[in-house]
Amino acid sequence: MILGANMASSQVMRTRDALLMGGRFDITIVAPDSLTAERMIDTVIAEITRIEYLISDWKPTTQVSLINKLAGIRPVRVDKEVLELTERAIAISRLTEGAFDISFAAMERIWKFDGTMTQMPARADVKRARRYVGYKDILIDKEKSTVFLRKKGMKIGFGALGEGYAADRCRALMLSKGINSGIINATGDIQAWGSRPDGAPWRIGINDPFENGALVAAIPLDGAVTTSGSYEKYAVINGKRYAHIINPATGYPATGLTSVTVTGPGAETANALSTSLMVMGAKKGLQLLRQFPDYECLMITDKGKYVTSPGFDLESVRIGE
């Protein structure tokens, strides 16, 4: 949630939303005039669309879809951009010992979080699907620029990681064109830079997972913030809520944390970390975050306890207390 402020400046701010990469993007640009702002929003949409047609696994013509189609058959030659994104995803998988894994997409055949799932999947089905999850079976040949999924039936999906990557790319693109302030909200993965037209900082609200519409904090932001949680996208089965974030080691939804918010320079990395922390839990998650000194986090447990990394000053941004 982006929080407002009074505006009194020669600069103008324009915002537009668009359905991209399977979700809603809200694009805000601050520019000297309305025409420039609207033209830059068009440029941002074009860049996100370009990335979507490169990495989206639900569009049959993308390179990622071809990788999935030819799993267990042969490697697929991909653009450098796709290769490097895959390499970074695998690097996070190694650091988290598989808590983060882009091959979890094979579990999408088992779990549905669109409101249609009313009973638990059969254990045998979960076990069978888990055979196709494992980042170590994603093989990269840098010299040939190929990606190969070792097992037929495997599938990779960049999902929110790709949205974070798109937000990072658009920030860099706008800065290169002299746009020194704006926000890309990629379905909750936010990349902000500069300030509002009146010079005030952008402020981003962190939702309270236990009270719809309420905030637990409002943080000033020049960089990225992402939140992974179990309170917006989930399945309710026999009265129990199951989060959409799957633990690759078990094939079942992660438990223990209700939400994880990560701030730092990049939305791609922040998203990978917030997803990883949801799976790893608070204690191991804080240990992981020590390897990323530019990133901070706020975790909220299933019991409502707040856990923060050392650099996250919750008291200074807490709301309603």
* pLDDT 10s digits, 166-209: 999 999 999 999 999 999 999 889 999 999 999 999 999 999 99
Which residues, in sequence order, are CB contacts of 161 under 8 Å at separation 6+? 85, 89, 102, 268, 271, 272, 275
What is the rounded distance in angstroms from the CA atom of residue 179 to the CA atom of residue 37? 9
E-strand ranges in 104-250 read: 138-141, 146-149, 182-186, 189-193, 202-207, 215-221, 223-229, 234-237, 240-243, 246-247
Q: Which residue matches tokens 């009265």?
A: 239
* Domains of the chain, earliest start first: 63-157 (1.10.3980.10)
- Confidence label for 212 from pLDDT (cuts 50, 70 and 90): confident
pLDDT digits (tens, 9 = 90+) for 58-102: 999 999 999 999 999 999 999 999 999 999 999 999 999 999 999
- Confidence label for 280 from pLDDT (cuts 50, 70 and 90): very high
pLDDT digits (tens, 9 = 90+) for 122-166: 999 999 999 999 999 999 999 999 999 999 999 999 988 999 999
What is the rounded distance in angstroms from the CA atom of residue 35 to the CA atom of residue 44? 14
- Tokens representing 219 are 């943080």
With b for 16 or more beta-carbon neighbours within 10 A and e for fewer, the 261-273 pattern comes to bbbbbbbbbbbbb
Mean per-residue pLDDT, 270-284: 96
For residue 58, the one-letter residue type is: W
In whole numbers, what is the pLDDT of the chain averaged over residues? 93
